[in-house]
Amino acid sequence: MASSRDQFSSRFGFVMAAAGSAVGLGNIWGFPTQAASNGGAAFVLVYLVLAFILAYPILMAELVIGRHGQANNVASLRKIATGPFSANSGTFTAYYGLITASLILSFYAIVGGWMASYLLASITDLIGADGATQWMTEFGETRNLLFTVLFMGLTATIVSRGVADGIEKWSNRLMPMLLGLLVLMIIYVLTLPGADAGLRAFLIPDFSRALEPELIVSAMGQAFFSLSLGVGTMMIYGSYISEQENLPVTGGIVTCVDISIAVLAGFLIMPAMYAAQHNGVQIFDDGGALIAGDTLIFNVLPPLFESLGPAGPIVALVFFLLMTIAALTSSISMLEVPVAFAVERHNLKRGRAATLIAGVIGLVSAVIVFNFGELFGRVVAFTTEFSQPLLGLFLCLFAGWVWHRDGVLQAMKKGAPNLEHGLFWKIWPAYVKFLCPLFILLIFLA
């Protein structure tokens, strides 16, 4: 079984897949406005520091546990257990992560579906099919359900092809495209009148704001979500990395790509918002804060695109293509968690497992679609604000306390023979053991 296990075929492939998981809607619609309303460049700086001292160590813990296990997350966590209690805790943590990943996918697919519907709407807009355009840009249960199913179908199609031929191949295609589209959009948006005010709002540092405790806490949450931590996504991707690979370096690249795309997204979103304001669109809510999240994507940007004349539908098309790609490379990483488990544990064929599990998660999405007001926000909060940090805490306890330090070192040294003499090994063990758990407890207290 172990010898026939699917693997990423190259470092580039792994970095694209893991960065594809990390770079998602969180980067593009979360980070820029958070930065702008929280001290601009000062927040970016705080975020950068936190990403490296909190998120990166946990990412490393997940990657090394996964690569050592060479199996699904339940087996990987049990493998480092030292007795019945830690083995059972491993099983519990892996299942909890699997369920959380599935629940995150159940709402993420709804949002991904919105991106896909706006993408199609920009095409129907170009060919003048106004009825269709209007239907696809109006919030409705039928539209939401239809596009959720479409998005889930795309996700399952890629995952069913496997790691190298599905996840890696598509990440290799989609991630460079995402970067290209992003840069293209930035160049265009910076030429719009009013855009420079957005740059200023994003970049001028206000250090007094950035050091407020609530801000640090929200930056931590953002870093956690953005690097897809806790639920076992990175652990299962880690299990597909070759033993020749230097984990601290590879993980560092993934962290840097994720941060860079978030900062780049700021160069797009902030100028776009201020250009929209220049054209008479309201960009601050009644409380005086910058509009963020879905309202930003669907109420601030579309009027901006509309005001651009003939270029409008094309700019909209590029933007929503970008968003759809960002969402898709993230959603495949969520689906891989339960699929890998079902394939190994229950001997299901990958294609069948992907279809079946995507179907079940799709049903959960349908329940959310039909009870949107009551359920959507609750599922988001339960999974991302509560479960993710809690799971991150468990993983630190596993990597720092359960797994013997020497075992970790041996596992980490594969592909990095000089590890124990470097800076990484001087710092990291103490981080996952003491500092990261402490940080996470702080998030909870807040």
Binding site for ligand TRP (CB under 6 A): 21-22, 24-27, 101, 104, 225-226, 228, 231, 233, 330, 333-334
Cβ 225 to ligand TRP shortest distance, Å: 5
The letter for the amino acid at 383 is T
Which residue lies nearer to ligand TRP by CB, 174 or 334? 334
Cβ 58 to ligand TRP shortest distance, Å: 12
Q: Where does residue 426 rank: exposed (0-12), middle (13-18), buried (19+ CB within 10 A)?
A: exposed
Token reading at 217: 């806490």
Which residue lies nearer to ligand TRP by CB, 111 or 342? 111
Which residue lies nearer to ligand TRP by CB, 250 or 384? 384
Among all residues, whose Cβ is closest to ligand TRP? 24
Please tell me the distance from the alpha carbon of residue 155 to that of residue 119, in angstroms, as a whole number. 17
Question: Which residues, other chains included, contact 96 with Cβ-Cβ below 8 Å and sequence gap of 6+?
Answer: 387, 391, 394
Which residue lies nearer to ligand TRP by CB, 27 or 34? 27
Cβ 261 to ligand TRP shortest distance, Å: 9
Which residue lies nearer to ligand TRP by CB, 6 or 385? 385
Which residue lies nearer to ligand TRP by CB, 231 or 268? 231
The letter for the amino acid at 111 is V
Please tell me the distance from the alpha carbon of residue 65 to that of residue 71, in angstroms, as a whole number. 10
Cβ 226 to ligand TRP shortest distance, Å: 4
Region at 233 (left for phi over 0; alpha for psi -120 to 50; beta for the rest)? alpha
Please tell me the distance from the alpha carbon of residue 321 to that of residue 178, in angstroms, as a whole number. 8
Cβ 228 to ligand TRP shortest distance, Å: 3
Cβ 286 to ligand TRP shortest distance, Å: 27
The letter for the amino acid at 381 is A
Which residue lies nearer to ligand TRP by CB, 225 or 431? 225
Cβ 125 to ligand TRP shortest distance, Å: 26
Token reading at 124: 């129907």
Question: Which residues, other chains included, contact 84 with Cβ-Cβ below 8 Å and sequence gap of 6+?
Answer: none
Determine phi and psi for 290, rounding to 5 degrees. -60, 135
Q: Where does residue 372 rank: exposed (0-12), middle (13-18), buried (19+ CB within 10 A)?
A: middle
Token reading at 52: 């490296």
Tell me the residue length of the chain: 446
Please tell me the distance from the alpha carbon of residue 111 to that of residue 411, in angstroms, as a whole number. 38
Which residue lies nearer to ligand TRP by CB, 315 or 337? 337
Cβ 59 to ligand TRP shortest distance, Å: 11
